[in-house]
Chains A and B, each alone.
Chain A
């Protein structure tokens, strides 16, 4: 019978498989080590721990890349992670570069199309409607909070929404540019840290957090990433932290921004869809009704369609390299 235990893996064997693959891949790429951007979240923490397990702490370099909207605990948790695994790190504050390139100003311009008073002291985030309540299309809403704490919700125009997303994507792209600076300097490869939900559903920025040389946990469901975290000894505070996007000034959960369901239920739905588990069993395992599971499946397939382009490399008229 299908249940959340269906996702349980043998952590020891899986760590051995991934670390062996990392060592073999490093040899093939002729890189001497790995650079990992550390966010204080579970995915980058597990990726860092795997890198250390595979190559040794001397060959792993961690980077903290805060900016003005980064949560307060990101650096604290990231530092604890680095200390736990003995990894050398540095802090690269990307805020000034984001300001200089116009990230915040372009975000604010988009927000002001619906909230003209938006400015210093205001906060915002993007949020999706709940998939549990209706079959409403995935039209993202802007949530704005005034300095007095009053929250309002708005529908953006297509152009304002696209500008807001495009401006925000500077953050992920600038982080990747910074990771590659250190990778080039050290002769290392860059680790991408998406889990299976993020990779499958296109929850990444092309040439931003989507860019990397290796993605050691992209095949693992988020639940499995938590299993490995425990096995590898990732600090409990990091394992207990609610996954967030840490991208906008207002705190935002990942399901609110992208997945529509908490990761435990999303994992089960994605596994059920991938493995053709009978709908009734997925419904029982998730505690959702069959109609809702069907809507989640449609949402998963819709996101696969609309984000397929993110996975593509540059198209060529014809192959350039033989074989």
Chain B
């Protein structure tokens, strides 16, 4: 299962989504009401525990966390960070 599928599965199982098919990868999780401010904490815990990354306070932005696609892209960047730093 790739990262995007894992994120999608977490969103669908952890939160209540009455019609999963309507949630596209691009859909805003905040505007659709699926994730609220407490939900953001749950998403962060999921990312930190499942993918062994650390989410800094200034990374808790809609750009990084407001859709399945954005979360997946954010994770991709986080996971390549050490490699980028090591090769720099």
Q: By the criterion CB–CB under 8 Å, are B45 and A137 in contact? A: no
CB distance from B33 to the nearest CB of A (A): 5
Tell me, rounded to whole Å, the shortest Cβ–Cβ distance linking B67 to chain A.
Answer: 13
**Which secondary structure characterizes the binding site on chain B?**
helix
B50-63 vs A, Cβ < 8 Å mask (1 yes, 0 no)? 00000001101111
Interface string of A124-167 (1 = CB under 8 A from B): 00000100001111111000000000000001111001100000
**Whole-angstrom CA separation of A306 from B42 in the bound complex:** 16
B41 CB contact (under 8 Å) in A134, A136, A161: A161
Number of interface residues of A (CB under 8 A): 17
- Cα distance A199–B63 when bound, in Å? 29
Interchain Cβ contacts within 8 Å, total number: 48
Interface size class of B (residues with CB under 8 A): 10 to 19
Smallest CB gap from A129: residue in B:
B57
Query: Bound state CA distance, A137 and B36, in angstroms?
Result: 10
Contact B31 A137 (CB under 8 A): no
Q: Does B40 contact A (CB under 8 A)?
A: yes
Within 8 A of A (CB), among B28-42: 30-31, 33, 36-42
Contacts of A139 in B (CB 8 A): 37, 40-41, 44, 57, 60
Residues of chain A with a CB closer than 8 A to B57's CB: 129, 136, 139, 155
A27 CB–B CB distance under 8 Å: no
Contact A157–B40 (Cβ < 8 Å): no
Q: Check: A4 CB closer than 8 A to any chain B CB.
A: no
- List of 7 A-B pairs having minimum Cβ-Cβ separation, nearest first: A158-B41, A306-B36, A158-B42, A138-B37, A137-B60, A137-B40, A139-B60
A-B contacts, 17 of them at CB < 8 A, read A134-B61, A135-B61, A136-B57, A136-B58, A136-B61, A137-B62, A138-B40, A139-B40, A139-B57, A140-B37, A155-B57, A158-B39, A162-B38, A305-B31, A305-B33, A306-B36, A306-B37
